Structure 1
């Protein structure tokens, strides 16, 4: 697995999906590291590599379909489904709540939730609950990067290609600010 992690880190750096510097995060905190998997996934060969790698980690589990939260999980969810040879569906927010709007509910079928990055796991958990409550069986959760540091909302750790936990700082206690640098906000929100 460390070969996969090393290759993934290389792809993330090459595609500028993983940045080092001084960043203002959506949470308002500062960090010396930033990840935006969409930057890596924009290259089809990279998406294929990550999708096949996640699918390999799910080997031996009986999975009927893959589900992801829109928007972050769309590309990687589709790639994992392709590698597993099963259908792909996604949930999206409607009135602030994840719902399955575009697809029929595959009642009684087994699924895995696939996300790009898990920080708290909130969106992935909402997808899992939405489909479970509709009569599907939630088998597992998987992601490209688990950056939760174990502080996710799942009963067990999600399967991931790369587990990483970067230090984050309150702005008034940020050592990067103390060194005189100014934070940059790259983000998607």
Structure 2
């Protein structure tokens, strides 16, 4: 992974409004940090500049297509694809409650786009990677499409999950900023142990007792 500049790191963090609390993440983990990523859409120009910097980091991997998970990750991925001059694809989220436990969601590339990524060297680009459910799901489906994932890119990486995903798949990881962050399984969550109510992050109300 390339070295990160302090200026770029600060530019990324400035676009990511954060809240502290006890949150249920998409992966099923519990976390203490929630980023209101929908607000990225309000500032396309600074996001585009950051996407150009991320594209420059991904360029050495001879990327032939970029794929991003909906919603905000796909917006960033499209900007990166435009900078690299390569095709863009996206993956859609599908809950899979039958799987149960952690990562009970799938991400699938639409049928019309699957042939367009087949055989190509693909970068998976997201806005932020935390537990990594969107990137994991997108990677798995790209492999099912017979694409060749070669790199993961993100504006911001929280914690160590992204590094583990990249290492497990033997692919590169490039990010503009990183922050330490804690996530826990429900059974290990210290905030549940203290009886703090659990929220989805999408609103102020608890979604259930821990």
TM-score range, shorter chain: 0.7 to 0.9
Give the equivalent residue in structure 2 for 1:8. 12
Give the equivalent residue in structure 2 for 1:139. 150
- Where structure 1 has 5 or more consecutive residues not aligned to the other structure, the ranges are none
Name the CA shift for 1:183/1:69 in 2 (closer, same or farther; >3 Å).
closer
Distance of 2:93 and 2:155 partners within structure 1: 22
Give the equivalent residue in structure 2 for 1:121. 132
Note the C-alpha offset of 1:140. Answer: 0.4
Secondary structure of 1:159 counterpart: strand
Give the equivalent residue in structure 1 for 2:101. none
TM-score between both structures, scaled by the size of structure 2 = 0.70
Write 1 or 2 for the structure with the bigger share of helix.
2
- Where structure 2 has 5 or more consecutive residues not aligned to the other structure, the ranges are 97-105, 184-188
Distance of 2:161 and 2:192 partners within structure 1: 25
Distance of 1:86 and 1:112 partners within structure 2: 10
Aligned length: 176
Cα deviation per residue 1:138-160 (whole Å; 9 max; x = unaligned)? Answer: 11011111103357433167211
TM-score between both structures, scaled by the size of structure 1 = 0.77
Structure 2 matches for 1:80-159, cutoff 5 A?
Answer: 80-94=80-94, 96=96, 97-101=106-110, 102-106=112-116, 107-150=118-161, 152-155=164-167, 158-159=173-174
Name the CA shift for 1:170/1:82 in 2 (closer, same or farther; >3 Å).
same
Give the equivalent residue in structure 2 for 1:160. 175
| Farther-moved stretch of structure 1 (37-46 vs 66-75) | 37-46
